[in-house]
Chain A
Amino acid sequence: MGVLILAVMAAGVLLMLTRVLPTAFALGFMAIGIALCAGQPLFGGKDSVAQAVLQTGAPMLASTMIAVLLGSWLGTLMEDTGIAATIVRKIVEFGGERPTAVALGVFAVSILCGSITGSAAAAMLAGVVGIPAMIAVGIPAVVAGGTVLMGLAAGLPLELIGWQFLSDAVKLPLEEVRSFQLKVFPIALVLGIAYIVVELRRKGVRHAWSVRAPGKARVRRGDAPWYALVTPLLPIVLALGFAVPIVPSLLAGVGYALIATTRPGGFGTTALKSLYRAFDVAAPPIVLFIAIGMLLSAVKLPGAVKALSPMVSAISPSSPWFFVLVFAVLVPLCLYRGPLNVYGLGAGIAGVLVSGGIYPAPAVLGLMSSYGQVLCVSDPTSTQTVWSAQYAGVRPEKVMLSTLPYTWLMAIGSLALTSLLFLA
């Protein structure tokens, strides 16, 4: 039975790798397949495929989905009102003579953007102006793309949506997730800065005669007023400093952005327009979270737990240092839609680890968070990596090679932290 489930998982990964099926669909079918292989009935009873996997599983990550939607709304507003672009312009104007300063500035903006909304939307917020601006001051294109991505990764531990996702996925209280993620943040921050400083020293600044093909003309918008520029900080400060829950924190950001940039008469129209556009931005991750919810429900079914736990526990390292070593070696398996992708099958595996009682839930949280960092930056198939690389004019694989040494170290650091806190 366990072998059959593994075969379903392998088939699913193959379908994702070969891009026969979009990830979300593959995960959905995987969830149904796993439940059936685990011997659960199709209909009837609370552990049936129809009830447990589809009815209960689909909305399981509902809180995460709402957070994604609100984060996208705030991101859309920051784009429409020119807040993000204005911050980047100021950075270039102040730091332009020193490329490292420009890169560190764009990195900081990317952290903020990454903390309010995930994936490609965040990369675009910081990168639309940031990437060409960095290239214009002589930063090599690969490093320009990598800088935005490293910023997103450093912002990931502060991302409110990410807290919600991890909290729902491993069933831990939000406070515990937040407290762990805050300890991961310095590791991600230091390695992100190391990436910029080391890579710029290694590759050097380059002045090129280069020409970009006529793309879509960037929409020209006026600068946002200075007091609007604190918008991206607001949700984090509220959530961290004042323990405000995630939804009101994000809503406060939306409200502030509106008040700071829009005339009172235009509130309704601007708010509604940007909210509707946010649905477009939020659609892919929301669909993914529906499928992940189904997958998590499937692997937590009694039949699946009974079949998988012995196998997974047999190969799972038990000593704290072995835990770090083994999972550090396995890091590449989270790339290219691999089996340890935490926004894919990896979430299911995390579910098995928790429900099978193989590791304490906080350790699984640490594992997912560590892999999330690598995935966010280096996976050449993730949307933010593809967008940043292409916008910088390089292949996503080159960005992967440039960033992977640093994100791998990031993962090892967080794994060591996990082991120290929860396994030692």
Chain B
Amino acid sequence: MTTTDEDLAVDLLRAAPTHENRAEERLRAWARIALAFGDELAATPDPLPAPEIAEVLGGARDDVLVLAEYDTRVRTILVRPDGISRAVKVLMRAGVSVTAGELRAAAVAHEVAHHRMHRGEGRELARRLGHTAFRLGPWRIRGHVTGADELAAHRFAHRRTGIGHGPLALTAALTRHTFGG
């Protein structure tokens, strides 16, 4: 594979519902910032207390797979074993071998990143992205970049778990295949 993480990240951003028409360079710049932010986040220790982890049913449908969620209200990571095992099967068909254990660890790490960003560290990411949605003289409104936090969380999980195929590559592989059965 010659595609880099950055390429995959650009594709992921472009698939987000607000970036369809954005220029390649703009998306690439955002992707670079978000991935670097994920690296930095992974290099610093997680603040205590750590979020709780719970397993919940569901997550495997023919049109959507959910591997894990972070519930901001109760600050809990919800792991979806059904979604994970279905993803393992789909990936196997795609020629990517990953175990359910590895995928689970990556999913938990991904949500740890969301937990940290939600608790305040995400503001720094928004600052670095520096997207201006509206400007009138000295006044500017900072715009939201959909999907940037997702890229950071993917990279964070890759760094923390060190699995062969990172969450970015796995997500890209999943989106190319149907989820049935």
A binding-site residues for B, Cβ under 8 Å: 88-90, 92-97, 129-130, 132-133, 136-138, 141, 201, 203-215, 218, 220-223, 390, 393
Contacts of B118 in A (CB 8 A): 205, 207
CB distance from B12 to the nearest CB of A (A): 10
Task: Beyond the given A92-B144, A223-B21, please list 15 additional residue pairs across the A-B interface where CB-CB is below 8 A.
Answer: A92-B17, A96-B143, A96-B145, A130-B17, A133-B18, A204-B72, A207-B69, A207-B70, A207-B111, A209-B111, A210-B65, A211-B171, A213-B179, A220-B21, A222-B21
Interface residues of B in 44-87 (CB under 8 A from A): 61-74, 83, 87
User: In the bound complex, do residue A210 and residue B20 qualify as a contact, i.e. CB atoms below 8 Å apart?
Assistant: no
Interface residues of B in 11-48 (CB under 8 A from A): 16-18, 20-21
Residue from the list A133, A138, A208 in contact with B68, Cβ < 8 A: A208
Contacts of B74 in A (CB 8 A): 204
CB distance from B61 to the nearest CB of A (A): 7
Q: What CA separation (Å) do A210 and B176 show in the bound complex?
A: 14
Contacts of B72 in A (CB 8 A): 138, 204-207
Residue from the list A95, A136, A213, A220 in contact with B147, Cβ < 8 A: A136
Q: Does B107 have its Cβ within 8 Å of any Cβ on chain A?
A: yes
Interface of B is mostly: mixed
Q: What CA separation (Å) do A203 and B78 show in the bound complex?
A: 13
User: In the bound complex, do residue B73 and residue A129 qualify as a contact, i.e. CB atoms below 8 Å apart?
Assistant: no
Q: Does B174 have its Cβ within 8 Å of any Cβ on chain A?
A: yes
Given A137-B144, A137-B146: A209 in contact with B18 (beta carbons within 8 A): no
Supply 23 A–B pairs (Cβ within 8 Å), ascending by A: A92-B18, A92-B144, A93-B18, A94-B133, A94-B134, A129-B17, A133-B146, A138-B72, A204-B74, A205-B72, A205-B118, A207-B153, A209-B171, A210-B64, A210-B66, A210-B69, A212-B64, A213-B65, A213-B175, A213-B179, A221-B20, A222-B21, A393-B64
Given A94-B144, A213-B179: A206 in contact with B18 (beta carbons within 8 A): no
Count class of interface residues, chain B: 35 or more
Given A89-B18, A207-B149, A209-B153: A96 in contact with B144 (beta carbons within 8 A): yes
Question: Which of B114, B131, B147 has the largest count of A CB atoms less than 10 A from its CB?
Answer: B114
B binding-site residues for A, Cβ under 8 Å: 16-18, 20-21, 61-74, 83, 87, 107, 110-111, 114, 118, 126, 131, 133-134, 141-147, 149-150, 153, 167, 171, 174-179
User: In the bound complex, do residue B178 and residue A213 qualify as a contact, i.e. CB atoms below 8 Å apart?
Assistant: yes
User: In the bound complex, do residue A93 and residue B144 qualify as a contact, i.e. CB atoms below 8 Å apart?
Assistant: yes
User: In the bound complex, do residue B144 and residue A97 qualify as a contact, i.e. CB atoms below 8 Å apart?
Assistant: yes
B174 to A, closest residue via Cβ: A211
Contacts of B87 in A (CB 8 A): 211
Residue from the list A203, A209, A214, A218 in contact with B178, Cβ < 8 A: A214
Contacts of A209 in B (CB 8 A): 66-69, 107, 110-111, 153, 167, 171
B78 to A, closest residue via Cβ: A206
B118 to A, closest residue via Cβ: A207
B123 to A, closest residue via Cβ: A97
Given A133-B146, A213-B179: A97 in contact with B126 (beta carbons within 8 A): yes
User: In the bound complex, do residue B20 and residue A206 qualify as a contact, i.e. CB atoms below 8 Å apart?
Assistant: no
Q: What CA separation (Å) do A205 and B134 show in the bound complex?
A: 26
Shortest 5 CB-CB contacts between residues of A and residues of B = A96-B144, A204-B73, A207-B114, A393-B64, A208-B69
